[in-house]
Amino acid sequence: MTADGPAPRPRPGPAAPTCRAPRPGAPPILPAASGGWPTGEPGAGLDAAVVVERAGFRLDATLRVAPGETVAVLGPNGAGKTTLLRALAGLVALDSGSVRLGGTVLADAERGVSVPPHGRGVGFVFQDYLLFRHLSALDNVAFGCRARHGLSRRAGRMVARPWLERLGLAEVAGRRPGRLSGGQAQRVALARALAPGPGLLLLDEPLAALDAGTRVDVRAHLRAVLADLAVPSLLVTHDPLDALTLADRVLIVEDGQIAQEGEPVEIARRPRTDYVARLMGLALYRGVLRGDMVATDGGGALRVRPSGTATNGTATNGTATNDAAGIGDGPAPDGRVLVAARPAAITLHMAMPAAGPEAAVVAARVAGIEPRADGARVALDAEPPVWADLSAAMMAELRLAVGVPVWARIGVDALEVYPAARAQDGPR
Amino acid sequence: MPAALAAAFLLLPLVGLLVRAPWRSIPSLLTRSDVREALVLSLETATVATAVSTVVGVPLAWVLARQRIPGLALLRALVTLPLVLPPVVGGVALLTVLGRNGIVGRYLDDWFGVTIPFTSAAVVLAETFVSMPFLVVAVDGALSGADLRYEEAAATLGAGRWMVFRRVSVPMIAPAVAGGAVLCWARALGEFGATITFAGNFPGTTQTMPLAVYLALENDPGAAIALSLVLLAVSVAVLVGARSAGRWAAVRAGSAAAAARGR
């Protein structure tokens, strides 16, 4: 057993030491590893075009990640997220494309180049930790330093210990993985991936196997680590909260393709696919904008700007312009658009309400009621079909049931309108 | 009821052995040189056979579990054939290959002057032939069930193929190798049919304990019972020792299930 040192020190400075050259300012714990590491130079980003083909499946994704940037890869199960990470790590061969990290070619299918996984200097964190069961937490973290940099057992442990301390694991350093909780195990796995000083960090659903309480804790650690990290990192997840809170940028992968890419705020407000819209709790419509109305593809129309304010494609002060989102590319011009509706901003009424200039009122019929923690989501048959999220109090007041006719008031402030810029945003 | 019957059937012979044992003569029996020779020879040959099985059986199990070669399923079936083959048949088969006029043995004799049958080496070979499949099956099972992603995780940490094998694969299958080796050793210790066929029954060189027991039964049944008891005691001691060692290893390593539960 490796006995633990004294009580854990306060968290060390921004950069815990790695077996590679520590970041400037941090006292060097160990000399920089003797050469050959393809990664980690300042300004070295990831530049990859990954094509992997399987029976009935094709992953084709092009991505760039800047140093220090965290990109979340979000998508449904089977979309190819994990395959993407495995291809970057060299665990899956490219059928086409290339992977470059800081100007070093890690793989190039056309030229037949593929650096094996152990030569890539890529840190990988797995959903189910995959800690080596026969090694203590400390020796798990030291494994990479010893394997990658040929350190002795003692030197490896010296590098590993500050990482455990940094992740709040000093007390469990001597424990085997079988005696760690899930949250502890995943933090050990994170330390293990970081200790050798990877040039790229890949996280494959690192929080998915944890229960809700533990997840909050590990997420906080992960956020702190990612904020300090000077190399590119990719975080695969199917939890939108992880993607929106941990990442600088989000890639949506569906069916092996990148379906949408953008900053979290943009993904959250302007989904481009039904999958993203559902994930963000929004209803998504496709249609044609003319003036202040959108004719939706399935029939029906939505007022997206206060009446009389639209001036055919030029900016107005209307409430539904997009400046509020901080995206800052002005209102959509007339033409094909996407409309995202926030169900919480849609109200239901038994008697026909006044529409006013800033809303549309549509006749609807309750099609379904799905109870939620704080009320219910009501699906409505209307043109176009809408959802409304109602509070418990509202549900009690309206006494809704399936089949009941109601009026839905859709204010322009419930809607986000943006151009259907790309071909795939058209009718499906 | 059938369960009780089965248990009684399995346990009563052991009770009989204990009841009929000539307890007073055991100490003098153990000091007899022929008995000592047989016991030492048994322990030595079983241990060597286990070592040989481990050294060549683990790589064989690795090939069976990890390689994708056509005909591997057939090879797996053939390799495990000695598990079901009557040991006497195994001994005859060994004679046809390694006997003085055997397919291979003839040339060993002509070219090198080496004859294997009826030597202690033959005892080891007979025991290895019969017991190695136990080890191969155990290790093959462990390797097939092992999660390859641990090896991938090691690779992403910078470990090359040899280091992955040495520091990840081998420790992961160590419990299975140990368990297989214990089975293998126990089987080799009790080996009778193949040994007497291929190695004969020469006191001091090929007469192992089971052969000595069988022989003693003809002219000194009491001694046969006593020798059986000695063999039983050795087997039980090894089994108990291996089990507690295994439990100790399991506690130290922790179980994957506990880690996955996350508590």
The per-residue pLDDT for range B95-146, each reduced to its tens digit, is 999 888 888 888 888 888 788 888 899 999 999 999 999 999 999 988 888 8
- Tens of pLDDT, residue by residue over A128-162, are 999 999 999 999 999 999 998 888 889 999 999 99
For residue B134, the enclosing domain spans 27-83+117-251
| Backbone conformation region of residue A23, classed left if phi is above 0, alpha if psi is from -120 to 50, else beta | beta
Shared-domain flag, residues A187 and A231: yes
In a domain, B208, yes or no: yes
Give the residue on B whose Cα is nearest the Cα of A179. Answer: B254
Asked if residue A90 lies in contact with residue A132, where contact means CB atoms within 8 angstroms, the answer is no
Shared-domain flag, residues A259 and A299: no
Q: The CATH number of the domain where A421 resides is what?
A: 2.40.50.100
Q: Which of A274, A309, A337 is the C-terminal boundary of a domain?
A: A274
Distance, CA of A344 to CA of A86 (rounded, Å): 39
Distance, CA of B75 to CA of A33 (rounded, Å): 46
Residue A221 scores a pLDDT above 70: yes
Shared-domain flag, residues A7 and A61: yes
Residue A30 scores a pLDDT above 70: no
Distance, CA of B75 to CA of B84 (rounded, Å): 15
In a domain, B11, yes or no: no
Residue A95 scores a pLDDT above 60: yes
Residue B155 touches partner A, C-beta closer than 8 Å: yes
Shared-domain flag, residues A96 and A229: yes
Shared-domain flag, residues A227 and A373: no
pLDDT for A55: 86
DSSP structural state of residue A14? S
Q: Once rounded to an integer, what is the mean pLDDT over residues A45-64?
A: 93
Shared-domain flag, residues A13 and A76: yes
In a domain, B5, yes or no: no
pLDDT for B247: 66
Mean pLDDT of chain B: 85
Q: The CATH number of the domain where B195 resides is what?
A: 1.10.3720.10
Confidence of residue A330 (pLDDT cuts 50, 70, 90): low
pLDDT for B223: 82
In a domain, B17, yes or no: no
Encode A278-324 in three state secondary structure.
HHCCCEEEEEEEECCEEEECCCCEEECCCCCCCECCECCCCCCCHHH
Shared-domain flag, residues A256 and A301: no
Mean pLDDT of chain A: 83
Q: End-to-end distance of chain B based on CA atoms, in angstroms?
A: 41
Instruction: Identify all chain A residues contacting B157, using CB atoms and an 8 Å cutoff.
Output: 118, 143-144, 147-148, 192-193, 196
- Tens of pLDDT, residue by residue over B218-263, are 888 888 888 888 888 888 888 788 777 766 655 555 444 343 333 3
pLDDT for A357: 83
Residue A312 scores a pLDDT above 60: no
Shared-domain flag, residues A285 and A266: no
pLDDT for B170: 84
In a domain, B18, yes or no: no
- Tens of pLDDT, residue by residue over B43-99, are 999 999 999 999 999 889 888 888 888 888 898 888 888 888 999 999 999 999 988
Distance, CA of B132 to CA of A143 (rounded, Å): 34
Q: Once rounded to an integer, what is the mean pLDDT over residues A55-72?
A: 94
Residue B207 scores a pLDDT above 60: yes
- Residues contacting A11, CB < 8 A, separation 6+: A165, A166
Q: Once rounded to an integer, what is the mean pLDDT over residues A56-82?
A: 93
Q: Which of A327-331, A336-340, A364-368, B31-35 has the lowest mean pLDDT?
A: A327-331
Q: Beta-carbon neighbour count of residue A160 at 10 Å?
A: 30
ipTM: 0.77
In a domain, B2, yes or no: no
Number of structural domains in chain B: 1
Number of structural domains in chain A: 2
Burial of A326 (0-12, 13-18, 19+ CB in 10 A): exposed
For residue A3, the enclosing domain spans 1-274
In a domain, B58, yes or no: yes
pLDDT for B263: 34
Shared-domain flag, residues A170 and A316: no
Residue A117 touches partner B, C-beta closer than 8 Å: yes
Shared-domain flag, residues A81 and A206: yes
In a domain, B103, yes or no: no
Shared-domain flag, residues A115 and A99: yes
For residue A97, which amino acid is it?
G
Confidence of residue A316 (pLDDT cuts 50, 70, 90): very low
Q: Once rounded to an integer, what is the mean pLDDT over residues A191-215?
A: 93
CA of A235 vs chain B CAs: smallest distance (Å): 16
Joined together, the tokens standing for residue B246 give 């295994």
Distance, CA of A71 to CA of A261 (rounded, Å): 10
Shared-domain flag, residues A25 and A137: yes
CA nearest to B158, candidates A270, A323, A115: A115
Q: Beta-carbon neighbour count of residue B240 at 10 Å?
A: 10
Question: Measured between CB atoms, which of B157, B163, B252 is closest to A176?
Answer: B252
3-class DSSP state for residue B115?
A: coil
CA of B126 vs chain A CAs: smallest distance (Å): 35
Distance, CA of A243 to CA of A165 (rounded, Å): 26
Residue B155 scores a pLDDT above 60: yes
CA of A122 vs chain B CAs: smallest distance (Å): 6
